[in-house]
Structure 1
Amino acid sequence: MAENGRRLLLVHAHPDDETIATGGTIARYAAAPDTHVTLVTCTLGERGEVMVPELAGLAAEHADQLGGYRMGELAAARAALGLSDQRFLGGVGRWRDSGMVVLAGGRAGAPPPGELHPRAFCAPGARAEQVEALAKVMAEVRPQVVVGYDPSGGYGHPDHVRAHEITMAATATAPSVRKVYWTVLPHGALFDGLEGLAGAREHGLPWRPAEPEELASVPDSSVTTRVDVSAVLGAKLAALRAHATQLGVWEHAGQRAFALTNELAQPVLATEYFTLVGARVDAGRGSLDETDLFEGVEPS
């Protein structure tokens, strides 16, 4: 660990979330000198659907072995991104993927309380223990910058919402933290990316490009920080491919897309976007052109 360098900590709910939302950012900073990146993964993703038909028997409703399999996928994704420090919140298997219900407009919601597993990550009585576990990691790692989700968890998944809650609670009492970001996708970038996939089916794209309203995004004005990940897109694409039970990847002549089990094509962008929501430094706060998560942060 870079004792006197830069330290970045990211909190994600399930294996594959880290790559989809922030894979380029992880790869960029993991390769940077005097910079240590830590990923905290909250569950094993046991309730995920399975993209690969021959592996469908791993799912929770069958053998219930998907979580262990996804640990291997995460290890492969970590290797592709150059990430050496990844921890499961509270230890491997402490918290279980809560699952979700699909609401109108493709949003996600929490299952009824009676259907939650005793170790469900979004369980009402689990929050205090989760905050304590995350605060313990922060005390050890001493990150100056923390990345998590916005209050909706991006698209409403109850585990993403809980990850947001515990991230904000733990950073509030972590003396090392200088900046807190939410990972977001702005309307404009999403629209441009989807427009770039127009006609891609003629070149072998196997999924229908999503409509903008089918994907979660935020107003452009809420974005404060744009991280250029074009130099590490190859690493991000390799990490996406590592999560093969959850998604597929397509490339053609500079076009790039992925799809989850809903088979809606989404663009793989060369920029990752963030909203700065908490800062104990002046530089960068509220800036619309910040390009470095560590802007204004002195190594310590």
Structure 2
Amino acid sequence: MSDRPAMRLLAVHAHPDDESLTMAATLASAAASGVGVTLVTCTLGEQGEVIGDELAGLAAEHADQLGGYRYTELREACRVLRVRDHRMLAGAGSFRDSGMAGTPSADHPRAFVRAADGGPDTERAVAALAAVVREVDPQVVLTYDADGGYGHPDHIAAHQITVAAVRRTPRADGQPRRLFAVVKPATAVQVAVDRYETPPGYHRSRPEDLGFRVADHSVDAAVPVGPWAPVRREALAAHATQVELLAGGFALSNRVAQPDPLYECYRLLDGPALPGATDPGSPAVPGRSGPTPLTGAADLFAGLR
């Protein structure tokens, strides 16, 4: 395809809203810099808890219509982020939100957790994603770490199929590709929590409420959120059944107030190292040594072609 962008990024996420919660600034800054951004979402998020009473009847335990509604939220978030190429893995409805580990929803015949059990659904999911990788031929791929960021079975499955699909599908021209996992450095999380003033009526967040943290030295890249903070918040606002915006932060249905991040941080899973990203420390904490924060997502492509 001669008219496709020279630089291309693929992001793989489990549910609608994950793209905006974890890497909105990265996707928006990449799109704004001319990078072709493709987003693959693996499920419709059918098992999500609904914020507010007006739409509570959409939930899985009632009308079970939440997935379709969240799809419209996702399309609006993509518009805000300028993500023009969005795909549902293997087509909308092929895989269903599994819910949290140990819940009955994980036994649903279409539960996405089955994509991680080594059975037929694993091959179907990997093959579907590999077809997207082959078509888009991205230089950079983004997904979760092996623990899924906070242990959700669908996030873990998304990591596993992404790693498998990327390994199965090398670049068409034989050039290298980078595969990154979005992560949260421990010190940056602690500093953000300590500095954040919890609004009245919400629970104060603890570091463990923000998901698993990684050692500072394992962070290879940090994309600043600041220039894209308004865009990120607008994208989060699109996911109104799942996210409530607060002053300087946001809350999910658990009403735990979380601070807005300063950076979106990544760990390199595969591919050539980023230039200048080898010193230990957290780039997301002022005064600590570490990789020089990137000026934007385009720098994730440094040295690639």
Is 1:135 aligned to 2:130, yes or no? yes
Kindly provide the CA deviation profile for residues 101-141 of structure 1, in whole angstroms up to 9, marking residues without a partner as x: xxxxxxxx2436x9511111011331111000000000110
Amino acid at match of 1:128: E
Amino acid at match of 1:196: R
* In 2: Cα distance, 1:57 partner to 1:51 partner: 11
Aligned to 1:246: 242
Structure 1 residues 115 and 122 mapped into 2: Cα distance closer, same or farther (>3 Å)? closer
Amino acid at match of 1:130: A
C-alpha displacement of 1:83: 1.1
Aligned to 1:105: none
Aligned to 1:225: 221
Is 1:237 aligned to 2:236, yes or no? no
Structure 1 residues 93 and 64 mapped into 2: Cα distance closer, same or farther (>3 Å)? same
Aligned to 2:291: 289
In 1, are the aligned partners of 2:278 and 2:291 still within 8 Å (CA)?
no
Q: What SS does the aligned partner of 1:195 have?
A: helix
Amino acid at match of 2:252: L
In 2, are the aligned partners of 1:276 and 1:285 still within 8 Å (CA)?
no
Kindly provide the CA deviation profile for residues 161-183 of structure 1, in whole angstroms up to 9, marking residues without a partner as x: 00000000011122226100000
Q: What SS does the aligned partner of 1:53 have?
A: coil
1:194-273 residue pairs with structure 2 within 5 A? 194-198=193-197, 200-201=198-199, 205-216=200-211, 217-251=213-247, 256-273=248-265
- Name which of 119, 138, 154 aligns with 1:159: 154
* In 1: Cα distance, 2:28 partner to 2:50 partner: 26
Amino acid at match of 2:302: E
In 1, are the aligned partners of 2:274 and 2:300 still within 8 Å (CA)?
no
Kindly provide the CA deviation profile for residues 40-91 of structure 1, in whole angstroms up to 9, marking residues without a partner as x: 0000000111012111100000000000000110011111111111100000
Q: How well do the aligned residues superpose, as a CA RMSD in angstroms?
A: 1.8
Q: What SS does the aligned partner of 1:75 have?
A: helix
5+ long unaligned stretches in structure 2:
280-289
Kindly provide the CA deviation profile for residues 229-286 of structure 1, in whole angstroms up to 9, marking residues without a partner as x: 21111110000011010110112xxxx1111111111111131100011014674674
Q: How many residues align?
A: 280
* In 2: Cα distance, 1:19 partner to 1:213 partner: 20
In 2, are the aligned partners of 1:178 and 1:281 still within 8 Å (CA)?
no
Aligned-pair identity (%): 46
C-alpha displacement of 1:191: 1.3
Is 1:148 aligned to 2:143, yes or no? yes
Aligned to 2:110: 119
* In 2: Cα distance, 1:73 partner to 1:211 partner: 28
TM-score by length of 2: 0.87
Aligned to 1:168: 163
Amino acid at match of 2:192: G
In 1, are the aligned partners of 2:221 and 2:277 still within 8 Å (CA)?
no
Aligned to 2:285: none
* In 2: Cα distance, 1:161 partner to 1:282 partner: 25
Is 1:8 aligned to 2:40, yes or no? no
Is 1:185 aligned to 2:192, yes or no? no
Structure 1 residues 284 and 147 mapped into 2: Cα distance closer, same or farther (>3 Å)? farther
* In 2: Cα distance, 1:161 partner to 1:206 partner: 32
TM-score by length of 1: 0.88
* In 2: Cα distance, 1:243 partner to 1:294 partner: 29
* In 1: Cα distance, 2:102 partner to 2:139 partner: 32
* In 1: Cα distance, 2:221 partner to 2:273 partner: 15
